[in-house]
Amino acid sequence: MKSSTLSGAESSRLVTSAPNLNVSSGVLPEIFEIPEKPPIKRGETKITTALLLAAGTGSRLQPLTKSAPKCLTEVNEISILERLVVNLKKQGFKRLIVVIGHLGSQIQEFLNSHAADLKIDYVLNPVYATTNNLYSLWLARQEITEPFILVESDLVFNDELLEGMLYPDRMAISIMLPWMNGTTVELDSTNRVTAFREGSYTSNTESQYKTVNIYSLSVASWKKVEKRLSHYVTADKLGDYYEVVFAEMIAEGTLSFNGIFFDNDLWYEIDTGEDLIEAENLFSQTPGRHSDCSTNLYAIQN
């Protein structure tokens, strides 16, 4: 995600469509009603297991990530991982599965002291430097026995956003704004995901939404995903993203997600030093903490 923070009445909010978006200013001149969350099916219980993919090197955040894993990067003195653990606990999560690789012992040490009340299972990706998140997700297959939430290790977000993701087969999305790029999805009239796309903002904002990289999966959905992941691994396509699998299965109709809207001002994806600065600006009002946005920028640039 590449985004910019708006202030006051100009702050971006969730909308079902934005046909009159002012591209030059990034202002949404008209606020639409937030779509309702999909109904809870009879017999569904809340998800209490999260899978965190945290094996990568975070090369675009170097030199910060030379001596620490990306998820321990601090945003206003609070690491990404600490924020995630706190958010999961607030939403009643009991178990955390973590795929580790680059400096994984630091992640284990941190969680041993900050998440002792969670059941934590670790999965090692020994070839993290030459593979991508598709392989990390596949490696976790033996640990997944219940519905779970899949979370990337470079996301910061407010805990209340998770409320809509606590039931299976949902996907976090955000209204697409001009400064964003990466994977997007299209929705039908019921907010069901109908297609994955790669690219940046286009004028077709009514059907284009940014992925947040948080998904919830039922056991049945996971079994189908796991089988497709195995095909990729067998074919030695270890450098692909798992979104490629999701895209194929959505197109075929063998996988289904309901889109859950995240407020653009309450989450951020951190890939680069510029992203880190934007995230610190966005989350600078965290109670009890102060922001010194120049500190991390200096470390990245020098």
What CATH number is given to the structural domain containing 293?
3.90.550.10
Please tell me whether the overall predicted TM-score, pTM, comes out greater than 0.75 for this model.
yes
Per-residue tokens: 149? 């939430």
In a domain, residue 33? The reply is no
Number of domains into which the chain is organized: 1
H or E element, residue 292: none
In a domain, residue 29? The reply is no
Report yes or no: 87 and 162 within 8 Å, Cβ to Cβ: yes
pLDDT of residue 14: 30
In a domain, residue 282? The reply is yes
pLDDT of residue 198: 76
Residue 63: which of 73, 77, 55, 54 has the closest Cα? Answer: 73
In a domain, residue 103? The reply is yes
92 C-beta neighbours (distance < 10 Å), count: 11
Report yes or no: 12 and 187 within 8 Å, Cβ to Cβ: no
Q: What is the CA radius of gyration of the chain?
A: 19
For the chain, the residue count is: 302
pLDDT of residue 271: 84
pLDDT of residue 197: 85
Residues of the domain holding 149: 47-172+211-232+267-301
In a domain, residue 83? The reply is yes
In a domain, residue 134? The reply is yes
In a domain, residue 178? The reply is no
pLDDT of residue 37: 59
Cα separation of 54 and 51, whole Å? 10
Cα separation of 193 and 195, whole Å? 6
Per-residue tokens: 28? 């949404």
pLDDT in tens, the chain (302 residues): 443 332 222 222 233 333 333 333 333 434 344 555 565 566 678 999 999 999 998 888 888 888 999 999 999 999 999 999 999 999 999 999 999 999 999 999 999 999 989 999 999 999 999 999 999 999 999 999 999 999 999 999 999 999 999 999 999 999 877 667 778 999 999 999 999 987 665 665 556 799 999 999 999 999 999 999 999 999 999 999 999 999 999 999 999 999 999 988 899 888 889 888 988 988 886 443 433 333 343 344 44
Report yes or no: 155 and 80 within 8 Å, Cβ to Cβ: yes
Cα 112 to Cα 15, 95, 108, 109, 252: the distances in Å are 40, 13, 6, 5, 42
In a domain, residue 10? The reply is no
